Amino acid sequence: MAHSSTNRVLMCVALGTDVRDYRKRFVQSQANLTVLRWELDDGPEDAKLLVANDLGHLRKSTELPWS
């Protein structure tokens, strides 16, 4: 868990993108789920983005995922 700006800067570093553009590149809503994965022997800039800014866990169980 971290703050939006911190998460976005870390995502830039992990994905090898320009940190100066972190506000433009990534959205981080409150209580979102973002998942990065590194394979064995990957460097710090070799992450794979698996999930970004997912808010599905905040929906009511009766809501459709696409609504």
Query: What residue segments make up the domains of the chain, in order of their start?
Result: 4-56
For the whole model, what pTM was predicted? 0.73
- 67 — pLDDT class (breaks 50, 70, 90): low
Percent of the chain with pLDDT over 90: 52
Q: What is the mean pLDDT of the chain?
A: 86
Contacts of 32 (CB under 8 A, 6+ apart): 53, 54, 55
Task: Indicate if the pLDDT at residue 11 is higher than 80.
Answer: yes
